[in-house]
Amino acid sequence: MSRILYTITDEAPALATYSLLPIVSAFAARAGVDVETRDISLAGRILAQFPESTGAPDHLAELGELTHSPEANIIKLPNISASIPQLKAAIAELRAKGHDIPDFPENPATDEEKQTRARYAKVLGSAVNPVLREGNSDRRAPRAVKEYARKHPHRMGAWSPDSKTRVGTMAGNGDFFSNEKSTTLAADTTARIEFVAEDGAVTPLVESLPLLAGEILDATFMSKTALTAFLEEQIDAARADGVLFSLHLKATMMKVSDPILFGHCVRVFLKDFIAKHAATLEELGVDFNNGIGDIVSKIESLPDDRKTAVEADLRAALDAGPPLAMVHSDKGITNLHVPSDVIIDASMPAMIREGGKMWNAEGRPAETLAVIPDSSYAGVYQAVVDFCRANGALDPRTMGSVPNVGLMARAAEEYGSHNKTFEAPADGTIRIVDADSKTLLSHGVRAGDIWRACQTKDASVRDWVKLAVNRARLSGTPAVFWLDKARAHDGQLIDKVEAYLGEHDTTGLDLRILPPAEACTFSLERIVKGLDTISVTGNVLRDYLTDLFPILEVGTSAKMLSIVPLMNGGGLFETGAGGSAPKHVQQFQKENYLRWDSLGEFFAIAASFEHLARSQGNPKAKVLADALDAANGEFLENDRSPGRKLGTIDNRGSHFYLALYWARALAAQDDDAELKAAFAPLAESLATNEEAIVGELVAVQGKPADIGGYFLPNEALANSALRPSPTLNQILAGA
């Protein structure tokens, strides 16, 4: 029997799975396909770190092993890339439910506490993607989604030619870009990373770092002194220009470096307040890397008189600075409250879509100084800002598309740097030394500088180039490698790209290499003419662009088709972004209404069946895939995505309509008589009972829904809440 592995993740996608998976499983079974689940949620990953007390399996490790097999067929939903506040909240919920796991050690002192902290560190940030992405990324808007967006364009905010909105970046002054060094390994070796103090004392940081011949090795650092001076300048500039101040980082994926950058910004913004209350804040154990929210929560424990004074000074300090961009204006949650609240790849496209504006404390849009400290990719966003300021908002009715081929296999580039990122403990040198004690790369650092190293495997680059050529050939679309020869890493990569392009027939193809900002402008000039341009990028730009352009083109990145052809022949099918997932869960708990749109899952499921048919010779799976493609088109044409208010269909209703359209398509096809006969009565039953099913799904709305937990819902409660139609459940049970 063929097998698809469907991941259980977090928040809204996880809730939607309770409703969608029974439908998928019922349809798949008719084609001899077994749909199995594997839990890679934040809660599941936490429990798996302590198997001796929880007995929990490590499903992420299992899937990681499977990605090396040609039989791999994995559907991966969005998961939480946890910040420390999220991790602590999940731990508290699990402990309250009786799971025998230790509390999170804020300041580990004993060996046991240090070991516990190390286990929890494995769950932070991008813990899932580097394990599963044993291939490069092919991500694009499905044709049906693009056509729907053109017929039903989403709202785009107007741009003023006088807009003060801009991007503030360090422009190569002491940042990761300017300090980067890179080399390509001539031979296999096992290196080590060490800190050498000014007195010559050596402290090992990484004792064993396997390196392969041909792989690119990078090292760089962010100067603390340059960073804090830059932040001071930007805060002053926002105040002088009368615009909102906002900081844009990736504190989830870049789980070591970016929380530190975030903390420095909080310290600079509140420097007078922190100086005045330094003893109190130290007494409370405030961690500025966790944002203003950590200050607010911890001063709650002070006696009333001290608490009132500190709160008043905090409000005064915030009022004295430039106005901060808000995450939740009505709740007073600012851009600097929690590091995981403002993620650059979601926040910057949203700002651009709103005409270059973010929300102020009064809940009104306002022009913004968007601060992106490292200059490696900041120019991409500035290019979009400049283009829209000069030409006005992009038009979803006519604009072309920018699909992406992304280099991410085997933890390529910055997103694979977590275990090689360090805050310099003192003035000295951090260096990478090979097995023969030869220094490969080194930097002089000062206390507090953030140093990191990255690896990019040669095989990953070769596969990435092949995928880019194949996509350019199949689509007849120009493909642009977004690489800057002035950047050390990109210079090494350009040499490989030029060499590996020679391994392919590129006759008639338009293949270019341009620096990121120029590549962005080139793509924008084409997109306004309705033309497509493939972006061929490294790992971080893959992440940024596959939110930026989809949000501008179709209103969301959750509806993208994301295929990862695994390097050993398997397939990984990702289902879009989950940035709005927390708000959807909050609404569901309050109103029993789930606005999450599962369209991304629908497209991934179709691609998964198609891959299964091709890789395992299952013709019935191909019929299922073709019918699901047809159902997706009908789904969009009839606008069956969740509505925006109570009384309309929500996520559960959209799943019903998918089942109806999918069954109809299978009943109408003539490629497989057995499937036609099996699904004709199902289609008739679903159609006959449409009014009753929709009525049952809508009837539960408007009252609180109890699912027994946020990070780890109660299975019985969640199943009951997410499958509230007895009629639909009975029909599926007999399918």
pLDDT digits (tens, 9 = 90+) for 375-421: 999 999 999 999 999 999 999 999 999 999 999 998 899 988 989 99
pLDDT for the residue numbered 277: 96
pTM for the whole structure: 0.87
Question: How is residue 166 written in tokens?
Answer: 């801009």
Element (H, E) at 3: strand 2-8
pLDDT for the residue numbered 580: 59
pLDDT for the residue numbered 581: 72
Q: Is there a contact between 11 and 42 (Cβ–Cβ < 8 Å)? A: no
Residue 559 has pLDDT above 90, yes or no: no
Mean pLDDT of 687-706: 97
CA separation (Å) from 81 to 113, 447, 570? 23, 28, 24
pLDDT for the residue numbered 143: 86
Q: Is there a contact between 507 and 495 (Cβ–Cβ < 8 Å)? A: no
Euclidean distance between CA atoms 231 and 168, whole angstroms: 9
pLDDT digits (tens, 9 = 90+) for 614-629: 999 999 999 999 999 9
DSSP 288: G
Instruction: Report which residue type is found at 678.
Output: A
Residue 578 has pLDDT above 60, yes or no: no
Mean pLDDT, the chain, rounded, equals 95
Euclidean distance between CA atoms 660 and 639, whole angstroms: 14
pLDDT for the residue numbered 142: 87
* 207 — pLDDT class (breaks 50, 70, 90): very high
* 577 — pLDDT class (breaks 50, 70, 90): low
Question: How is residue 550 written in tokens?
Answer: 């989809």
pLDDT for the residue numbered 218: 97
Count the residues in the chain.
735
Contacting residues for 606 by C-beta, under 8 A, at least 6 apart: 625, 628, 629, 632
Residue 574 has pLDDT above 80, yes or no: yes
Q: Is there a contact between 658 and 602 (Cβ–Cβ < 8 Å)? A: yes
Question: How is residue 627 written in tokens?
Answer: 């019918």
Instruction: Report which residue type is found at 255.
Output: K
Q: Is there a contact between 117 and 105 (Cβ–Cβ < 8 Å)? A: yes
pLDDT for the residue numbered 81: 86
Please report, rounded to a whole number, the percentage of residues in the chain having pLDDT higher than 90.
88
pLDDT digits (tens, 9 = 90+) for 173-182: 899 999 999 9
Residue 576 has pLDDT above 80, yes or no: no
Instruction: Report which residue type is found at 28.
Output: A
Phi first, then psi: give them for residue 112, nearest 5 degrees: -65, -45
CA separation (Å) from 544 to 133, 249, 623, 723? 17, 11, 35, 35
pLDDT digits (tens, 9 = 90+) for 238-286: 999 999 999 999 988 888 999 999 999 999 999 999 999 999 999 999 9
Contacting residues for 44 by C-beta, under 8 A, at least 6 apart: 8, 56, 59, 60
Q: Is there a contact between 227 and 170 (Cβ–Cβ < 8 Å)? A: yes
Contacting residues for 390 by C-beta, under 8 A, at least 6 apart: 161
Euclidean distance between CA atoms 60 and 50, whole angstroms: 14
Q: Is there a contact between 553 and 399 (Cβ–Cβ < 8 Å)? A: yes
Query: Helix (H) and strand (E) counts for the chain?
Result: 29, 24
pLDDT digits (tens, 9 = 90+) for 44-99: 999 999 999 999 999 999 999 999 999 999 999 999 888 888 999 999 999 999 99
Mean pLDDT of 301-309: 92
Euclidean distance between CA atoms 213 and 197, whole angstroms: 30
Beta strands 428-433; 439-445: pairing state: antiparallel
Contacting residues for 560 by C-beta, under 8 A, at least 6 apart: 139, 140, 141, 142, 145, 546, 550, 576, 600, 603
pLDDT digits (tens, 9 = 90+) for 488-518: 999 999 999 999 999 999 999 999 999 999 9
| Cβ neighbours of 318 (radius 10 Å) | 18
Q: Is there a contact between 489 and 216 (Cβ–Cβ < 8 Å)? A: yes
Give CA torsion, residues 202, 206, 212, 214, to 10 deg. -70
* 341 — pLDDT class (breaks 50, 70, 90): confident
Beta strands 365-371; 244-247: pairing state: parallel
Q: Is there a contact between 360 and 366 (Cβ–Cβ < 8 Å)? A: yes
Euclidean distance between CA atoms 295 and 288, whole angstroms: 8
* 582 — pLDDT class (breaks 50, 70, 90): confident
Mean pLDDT of 457-468: 97
Taking CA 128 as the corner, what is the angle to CA 127 and CA 131, rounded to the nearest 5 degrees? 100
Instruction: Pinpoint the alpha helices (H) of 122-187.
Output: 129-132, 143-151, 176-179
Euclidean distance between CA atoms 254 and 286, whole angstroms: 21
pLDDT for the residue numbered 579: 55
Contacting residues for 337 by C-beta, under 8 A, at least 6 apart: 291, 292, 293, 296, 327
Instruction: Report which residue type is found at 349.
Output: P
